[in-house]
Amino acid sequence: MHRHDHVQLVLPVIGQLEIEVGGRGGRLDAARAAFVAPGADHVQSGDGANRLLVVDCAMADVGEAAVERMSRQVFLPISPVARRLIEFVDLSGRRQPMSAATAWRCTPLLLEALLDTPQAPSRLEMLKRRIEADPGRDWSVAAMAQAAGVSASRLHALFLAELGQTPGQVLTELRLRAVQDGLATSTASIAELAFQAGYSDQGALTRAMRRATGLTPAAYRKRFRR
CATH at residue 195 = 1.10.10.60
Are the beta carbons of 6 and 38 closer than 8 angstroms?
yes
* Structural domain count of the chain: 2
* Mean pLDDT to the nearest integer, 149-164: 89
The answer to whether position 2 is within a domain reads no
Which of 65, 88, 115 finishes a domain?
Answer: 115
- Considering the domain architecture, whether residues 150 and 168 belong to the same structural domain is answered as yes
pTM of the predicted protein model: 0.51
Better-predicted residue by pLDDT, 155 or 95: 155
DSSP line for 22-85: TTEEEEEBTTEEEEE-TT--EEEEEEEEEEEEEEEE-HHHH-HHHHHHHHHH-EEE--HHHHHH
- Considering the domain architecture, whether residues 39 and 104 belong to the same structural domain is answered as yes
Which of 96, 115, 134 finishes a domain?
Answer: 115
The answer to whether position 1 is within a domain reads no
- Considering the domain architecture, whether residues 11 and 105 belong to the same structural domain is answered as yes
The answer to whether position 111 is within a domain reads yes
- Considering the domain architecture, whether residues 19 and 49 belong to the same structural domain is answered as yes
Inform me whether the pLDDT recorded for 173 exceeds 80.
Answer: yes
Distance of CA 175 to the CA centre of its chain: 14
Please give the Cα distance from 114 to 79 (Å, whole number). 7
Better-predicted residue by pLDDT, 190 or 73: 190
* Mean pLDDT to the nearest integer, 135-156: 92
- Considering the domain architecture, whether residues 12 and 96 belong to the same structural domain is answered as yes
User: Which residue(s) pair with 34 in the sheet?
Assistant: 10, 75
Q: What type of residue sits at position 112?
A: E
The answer to whether position 53 is within a domain reads yes
The phi, psi pair for 124, rounded to 5°, reads -70, -40
Which of 68, 94, 115 finishes a domain?
Answer: 115
Are the beta carbons of 209 and 201 closer than 8 angstroms?
no
- Considering the domain architecture, whether residues 149 and 216 belong to the same structural domain is answered as yes
- Considering the domain architecture, whether residues 108 and 159 belong to the same structural domain is answered as no
- Considering the domain architecture, whether residues 42 and 108 belong to the same structural domain is answered as yes
Q: Which domain holds residue 36?
A: 7-115
Top-ranked range on mean pLDDT: pick from 11-15, 68-72, 107-111, 151-155: 151-155
- Considering the domain architecture, whether residues 100 and 137 belong to the same structural domain is answered as no
Strands 24-28 and 42-57: unpaired
- Summarised one tens digit per residue, pLDDT across range 65-117 is 777 878 787 888 887 788 888 888 777 766 655 555 555 567 777 777 877 75
Inform me whether the pLDDT recorded for 61 exceeds 80.
Answer: no
Better-predicted residue by pLDDT, 169 or 100: 169
Angle between helices 100-115 and 64-73 in degrees, nearest 10: 60
